[in-house]
Amino acid sequence: MGAALARAWGVARSLAIYHGIPGRARRLRAFHAPFVPRGGLCFDVGAHVGNRTRCFRALGARVVAVEPQPDLARVLARLFARDSGVVLVRAALGEAPGRARLLECATNPTVGTLDADWVSRAAGVPGFAHVRWSPGAEVPVTTLDALVAEHGLPDFVKIDVEGHEAAVLRGLSHPPRAVSFEVLPALRERAIACVRRLAELGDYAYERTLGERLRLEGGGWCDADAAVAWLAALHDDAPSGDLIACLRTALPAGAVVRG
């Protein structure tokens, strides 16, 4: 009962944070608008409580929302029950299909991962030191390629899976128009692996965001080598954020790529 109450409180808190802060939805739409065309397709990998899914729908895109945590998948099912433009996939993503056991946090249910090594290394990272992980449900695992085969090649893929991002991208063999993934400076090699995988798929340029500011912070788009060099030079205590990868042929108007 205690664990169930803790999870219920955690989900309610996340709903308040991600859906209840004034102006947040508007800022999300403004940030993603250059990458999400009306009538396009987005994959929301690690959909959590659906704020990005709601953003992509408001921009006129169809959404495949991927969420393996049962509590969060039930929330998403309720939020988008009447929206035919949202497909909910109750699974994790990885390099190959199968089954795996989630690692979860009862008091912070918006975080979950399949990566036990990342969990052990993140224990000393600010922002994650307070997270107490425990084994969760065994869940099905599918791949981005399987989703592409069923739903089409997405225009934008958002990946937030707590250190498992590179494994998710290894399950993809087609270059989406744009991809975003998390950067945790103390574990920067995970983000570097994502850049290198995307470089194998297509000619991408990169920009970055910090925290929840929802604006590009890198001073301009850069190529894969420059993105790797920036990541490698990060201090462990630098702010976390996301890297945005966009095919050069799909960059916003006026964008210039530096080497």
Q: 47-51, 126-130, 236-240 — which is least confidently predicted?
A: 126-130
pLDDT at 79 exceeding the cut of 80: yes
**Better-predicted residue by pLDDT, 134 or 25:** 25
Average pLDDT on 176-184 reads: 95
Most confident among 23-27, 101-105, 215-219 (mean pLDDT)? 23-27
Average pLDDT on 85-92 reads: 98
- Residue range(s) defining the domain that contains residue 42: 2-258
Provide the pLDDT for residue 2. 62
Q: What is the pTM of this model?
A: 0.92
Asked if 94 contacts 167 with a C-beta cutoff of 8 angstroms, the reply is yes
pLDDT at 1 exceeding the cut of 60: no
CATH number at residue 215: 3.40.50.150
Q: 106 falls in which pLDDT band (50, 70, 90)?
A: low
Average pLDDT on 3-21 reads: 80
Q: In the β-sheet with 112-113, what is the strand arrangement from edge to edge?
A: 92-93, 134-142, 98-104, 112-113
Provide the pLDDT for residue 53. 98
Give me the chain's average pLDDT, please: 91
* Radius of gyration, CA atoms only, the chain: 17
Provide the pLDDT for residue 9. 73
Q: 24-28, 68-72, 106-110, 180-184 — which is least confidently predicted?
A: 106-110
Average pLDDT on 173-191 reads: 94
Total domain count, the chain: 1
3-state secondary structure of 9: helix
Q: Give whole-number Cα distances, 252 to 32, 168, 178, 247, in Å.
A: 11, 26, 11, 10
